Amino acid sequence: MVLLASVQLVSLARPLPCGHTAAGGRVGKRAGERTTGARMRKRILLVEDDQHSRNGLQVSLLAEGHGVEGVSDGWQAFRKIKEGIFDLAVVDLDLPSVLGVPVTGWDVVRILRAYCPEIPIIMMSAQEDRGIQRLVKRFKVSTFLVKPIDPASVKAFIRGLDQQAPKATVVDCSVC
């Protein structure tokens, strides 16, 4: 008899805030995760200092059924990263200083990589040059978008993630 099985590895190691173990596997179901048909709804961290851009992208992603945590600076992003589990991060490169302390989008990416090395990251900025492209490769940013961004391009990237998601494994069960 053939059974559909979803294999879940149990690790004694404490999971990272993103839900992965240090070995790269997932642990349990994340808060707010739900599925509709074959598409996984994502929990997204959106770091954008421009309120209109942040709200526009947030509303667009919410309309798709995704959970979106929108923040306006790096310090708020650090707090959200520490508190939550995210499937994707969308980060603006140019973020404002807070209390005179500059925190850029690259700083947010460094913290994201420390907490969750495998999280897909979309970086966005109004400018693009060779230095930015080198850092995109260095920090393994999934994609870089030049502003103004079209929410459809972010949604297309998310659909691409859905297509890469592991499928259920078909297993022959010798017991049944």
pLDDT of residue 162: 80
What is the value of pTM for the model shown?
0.73
Q: Are strands 169-172 and 2-5 parallel, antiparallel or unpaired?
A: antiparallel
Q: What is the number of other CB atoms lying within 10 angstroms of the CB of residue 143?
A: 16
Q: Are 120 and 161 in contact (CB under 8 A)?
A: yes
Place of tokens 């140019």: 94
pLDDT of residue 161: 87
Q: What is the number of other CB atoms lying within 10 angstroms of the CB of residue 16?
A: 18
pLDDT of residue 64: 93
54 token code pair: 């942040």
Q: What are the residue boundaries of the structural domains of the chain, listed by start? A: 40-172
The whole-angstrom separation of Cα 87 and Cα 100 is 31
Domain 40-172 sits in CATH at 3.40.50.2300
The whole-angstrom separation of Cα 110 and Cα 107 is 5
6 token code pair: 């979803």
Compute mean pLDDT per 10 residues along the chain, 176 residues long, and list them: 37 45 45 46 96 96 95 96 94 94 95 94 93 92 94 93 62 44
The whole-angstrom separation of Cα 144 and Cα 170 is 36
